[in-house]
Chain A
Amino acid sequence: MKNEKTIPPKLATILLNAFLRSDLAEEVRGDLEEKFYSDLKNKPSFKAKLNYWYQVINYLRPFAIKKLKGIRIMNNHLFKNYLKISTRNIFKHKMISFINVFSLAVGLAACVAIYLFVSDERSFDAFHSKKENIYRLDEVQKFTGTNEQKVALSMPGMGPALKHDFPEVQTYVRLWLRGKQLITKNDTKHLIDNVMVADSTFFDVFDFPLIQGDVNTCLNRPLTILLTESTALKFFKTTNEALHNTVSWDGRDYEVTGVLKDVPENSHIQFEALLSMVTYTTGENNVNNSWGGNWMTTYLLLESTANIKSMEEKFPAFLCRYMDDPDITTTYKLFLQPMNEVHLASNDIEHDYINYRKFNGSYLTIFYVIAGFILLIAAVNFMNLNTSRASHRWKEIGVRKSVGAKKLQLFGQFIFESVMLAGIALAVALLVDALLISFLNDLIGRKLSILPLFQNGWQLMAVLVGTLTLGILTGIYPSFYMTSFDLSRVLKGGSKGEGKSVLRSTLVIVQFGLAIAMMVSTLIVIQQLSFMKESDIGFDKDQMLLVNMNNEANEKFETIKKELQKQSMIRGVTASGQRLGNNFHQGGFKVKADTGILSITPSNVNVDYDYLSVYGIEVKEGRGFSKDNLTDNGLAFVINESFAQELRLKEIIGTKAGHDWYHNDSLGTIIGVVKDFNFNSLHYKVNTLALVVHPEWGYQELSVKIEKGRTEEGIAAVKKVWDELVPSYPFDYTFLDAHFEEVYRSDKQMSAVVAIMAGLSILISCIGLFGLAAITIEKKTKEIGVRKVLGATEGQITVLLSRNFALLIVIAFVIVSPLTYLALHRWLEGFAYRIDINLLVFVIGGILALVIGLLTISYHTFRSARANPVKALRYE
């Protein structure tokens, strides 16, 4: 794979050249290179690189370092002097320095964390070398009586036909997700998650590394299977032993023709076993000729010259050629989704089952914006404090000037100080990140690490340069301000006419504006999320244990149910063909109206008789299913309100209806209408739905309602019954509410991040305000003294001091509220079910900011208001 020669890390060499005495350069570089290449022979390259860095750093010794010389703006002595003065200054004003470093460090730490998060999301699927030319075939489906939807599924016949008809298509690969399956080897049985069926072209399109077997032929024969390394090791001692051995699934033996490396975390396609598609394309039921049903995911590898748009324009004609249906182009529209958008831009795509850790990419932009905000707030502190502190340094500046310091030199000194503080802040920030990243990982379910940042020279360089720039930028204004003092006035000790600190006030407004915006946003986001959690979705999802069922479990379903119902902590037992929380599969349906047969395509689900009562779904009209009615098996339908409205019939109950393969003369009957319930996530509107009882189709999952507080006991009881009755399949369960957590994960993680960032921004703003208050109030010491002597009360003085700050916060609130409102409104539009923005939240946010702000400065205001005026007047 790696043909290019590994060379010592460039950045380290650059660093070495920068400090090393030039007369030592030849021998040292030679030694280090020799060491590096000798390391390479018996160590992994990253270790050799790390060691190279170590060696370079270890040359930072007095004997080897260049002697600084020359009269630049900073010559060596001046440099030392700056360093000394800066250090003294930092320690002299401990509080201000702490605030500066702390807020900048928090800001930088937040930015680095956000960067790590975003680059982790961006790294998805990047390891496929042909990623630029891989596209996923998606559909827009528009069925009668159902909401228009984008889906990630396609028909099995589409892949081969597209390759045949379009010269742009180099090849295709179809994946057919079979979900969790029981795979056995003699007595070893394991439930293997994400079993897929894949075309033999799998490795022509994707770059999943194979450690055993032949890439070109491993999926060429029927009844062959590829296992990932950890799956293979569950059945065999070594991957070598696995090769050409067999495992059984579903009553047949499959030859293991290859072992893959475990699928990397950042792949949207996650699998543990791949079956060969050829198994399904030989014989009579050749899936290659299957059209009409969408149950595979198709990826196309296109020529790099392919024009996506013109291909998509030809798709309608393509569909017409293969499907005998005049309406086909209104119900189906095909489109191509580039591989690099699958992970981050599939949020509006449903039936998207092969999309691990799908994430809403537009949140990444929000994260970047937030990172920018935080850094801005921190930078503002820095500028504000340094500018207002200038008065403490008049004398120093004056003396320096009178002994001949050039303006540029003074400027350099202050910039140097600022860069130095920024550097310290960066070190603290990286330390904070290194310590807290695992905590963040727990919160947002990621495996982020700060280490890659140090292994990648460019990234490290970017961080360093970024910090340097930040130090310079934030240093420019204060430096400019301080060096512009007029010498004679400075030495007289007079101020440079305090000046209206318009800039300073503006910066405080910006700070608090951002902080308020983020606080209000957090409140709204949390409200929306708890709304989704608490809102009545029309059925009971708590305490519902879901158990995966196989054939045997289906055969013995009635017995299992009876046994379970005997247990006191079990409140209900039922089963269904699909799990709540996603869209149910849609299928053709027909209803016999007076005007003739109506065709409609609702979501369908196959349920057990007492599904409605166990899940607490309310029947509005008619009745639910009953075992006592023989025709309720397959010939009775319960539909939801949306479906009923769509039909626009006077009398719904008793209407003849059925699946579209039912003969018109042997239709079933609609026996009931249930209140709409959100079987899909709340991002989507409730779709039309038909429920039917069809035990012989088999159920996917058993649902067991367990009494609150007796969960452990309940699980144990179900397991006992299961192990006794279903020896062929392990007890494999989950809880419905856990599944719903998963559905809203992307939203929750975003809200967690926004909440943390809002907290940090308020924190940084407040520390900044604290410092600023300290400085401004100190300047007013004399004024306060005079006022007190003349009879002002403590209260009056506190008000006087707080008034200006309060005003700034109010202005910030007024400016930022409408903007925040608009932004939040847009975010909420992404939810079909959402809260109204309550303006009270803004008021609360504003007041909160004001109170926090005033509390922050109260330490100083009270102290100076209560101070003894005599002391105050003696000041200066």
Chain B
Amino acid sequence: MIETKLGEFEEVILLLVGILGEGAYAFKIAEEFKNQTGRTVSIGATHSTLDRLETKGFLKSAMGDSTAERGGRRKRIFTITALGKRVLKESRDFKVSLWQQYPALSSNLQIG
């Protein structure tokens, strides 16, 4: 089996960072996670994962601007690195290849 180095939660978080673009910081990511999956997650858990992904080199981060509703504090904006993008793509390709080896389902569900 190919080592994707990504857990399910990590993968979703990584994708969300990509979706949110400039607005990708812990609170917003946790919110978006809830909107997209319907599951709640604490900001702490999200932050912890972001931290881990950064250590693995999939993400990089920099302090962004501040807004009033956060008491004038700056936010840490996360962006996906080239490595991160590659890992995401590998992960998707891996799954797609698995799907394609499963003819009964792939023909019915039109997974591409």
Contact = CB atoms under 8 A, between A and B. Distances in A.
Interface string A58-77: 11110110000000000000
A61 B45 CA distance: 8
Contacts of B45: 58, 61
Interface in B57-112: 63, 66-67, 69-71, 73-76
A58 B75 contact: no
Interface string A429-447: 0000000000000000000
B47 A64 contact: yes
B4 interface: no
Given A61-B48, A63-B51, A64-B48, A31 B42 contact: no
B44 A27 contact: no
A65 to B, nearest CB: 11
B74 A64 contact: no
Given A27-B26, A54-B42, A55-B42, A34 B47 contact: no
A26 interface: yes
Interface string B8-43: 000000000000000001110011000000000011
B31 to A, nearest CB: 8
B52 interface: yes
A461 to B, nearest CB: 22
Contact of B47 (A33, A37, A38, A59): A59
Contact of A34 (B42, B51, B63, B69): B69
By size class, the interface of chain B is 20 to 34
A55 B44 contact: yes
Nearest to B61: A27
Contacts of A30: 27, 66, 70-71, 73-75
Contacts of B66: 30
Nearest to A25: B73
Contacts of A38: 31, 69
A59 B44 contact: yes
Interface in A9-42: 26-35, 37-38
A64 B69 contact: no
A29 B76 CA distance: 11
Given A61-B48, A63-B51, A32 B75 contact: no
Contacts of A32: 27, 43
Contacts of B31: 38
Nearest to B70: A30
Nearest to A28: B47
B71 A29 contact: yes
B44 A61 contact: yes
A12 B12 CA distance: 30
Contact of A31 (B48, B51, B63, B75): B75
Give the most central of B25, B45, B63, B73: most A CB within 10 Å. Answer: B73
A27 B73 contact: yes
A60 B45 CA distance: 9
Contact of B52 (A33, A58, A60, A63): A63
B69 A63 contact: no
A58 B44 contact: yes
A59 B47 CA distance: 8
Contact of A35 (B43, B74, B76): B43
Contacts of A59: 43-44, 47
Nearest to B74: A26
A57 B43 CA distance: 10
Nearest to A27: B76
A259 B48 CA distance: 52
A31 B75 CA distance: 7
Contacts of A31: 25-27, 43, 47, 70, 75
A58 B47 CA distance: 10
B50 to A, nearest CB: 10
Nearest to A60: B44
Contacts of A60: 44
A91 B98 CA distance: 51
Contacts of A54: 42
B81 to A, nearest CB: 19
A27 B63 contact: yes
Contacts of A29: 70-71, 73
A252 B73 CA distance: 66
A33 B67 CA distance: 11
B27 A35 contact: yes
A349 B30 CA distance: 61
A55 B27 CA distance: 11
A864 to B, nearest CB: 55
Nearest to A30: B73
Contacts of A26: 63, 73-74
A299 B21 CA distance: 66
A34 B44 contact: no
A39 to B, nearest CB: 11
A28 B42 CA distance: 12
A863 B23 CA distance: 73
Nearest to B27: A31
B75 to A, nearest CB: 6
Contacts of B25: 27, 31
Contact of B74 (A27, A37, A55, A57): A27
A343 B63 CA distance: 58
A26 B70 CA distance: 10
Contacts of A27: 25-26, 63, 73-76
Contact of B42 (A33, A58, A63): A58
A68 B48 CA distance: 19
A52 to B, nearest CB: 10
Interface in A222-251: none
A27 B69 CA distance: 13
Nearest to B45: A58
Interface in A802-834: none
Contacts of B30: 35
Contacts of B75: 27, 30-31
Nearest to A62: B48
B69 A37 contact: yes
Give the most central of A26, A27, A35, A54: most B CB within 10 Å. Answer: A27
Contacts of B51: 63-64
A313 to B, nearest CB: 57
Nearest to A8: B71
A10 to B, nearest CB: 14
A13 to B, nearest CB: 11
Interface in A58-103: 58-61, 63-64
Given A34-B27, A35-B27, A64 B44 contact: yes
A33 B44 contact: no
Nearest to B72: A30
Give the most central of A32, A57, A60, A64: most B CB within 10 Å. Answer: A32
A22 B25 CA distance: 18
Contacts of B43: 28, 31-32, 35, 55, 58-59
B48 A33 contact: no
B49 to A, nearest CB: 10
Give the most central of B30, B48, B70, B76: most A CB within 10 Å. Answer: B70
Contacts of A64: 44, 47-48, 51
A678 B20 CA distance: 81
Given A28-B43, A29-B71, A31-B25, 17 more contacts: A26-B63, A27-B25, A27-B74, A27-B75, A28-B26, A30-B66, A30-B73, A30-B74, A31-B26, A33-B69, A33-B71, A33-B73, A34-B69, A34-B70, A38-B31, A63-B47, A64-B48
22 contacts: A26-B74, A27-B25, A27-B63, A27-B75, A28-B43, A29-B70, A29-B73, A30-B75, A31-B25, A31-B26, A31-B47, A31-B75, A34-B67, A35-B43, A55-B42, A57-B44, A58-B42, A58-B45, A59-B43, A60-B44, A61-B44, A63-B52
Interface of B: 25-27, 30-31, 42-45, 47-48, 51-52, 63, 66-67, 69-71, 73-76
10 closest residue pairs by CB, A with B: A30-B73, A58-B44, A58-B42, A30-B70, A31-B27, A59-B44, A27-B76, A34-B70, A61-B48, A63-B51
Interface of A: 26-35, 37-38, 54-55, 57-61, 63-64
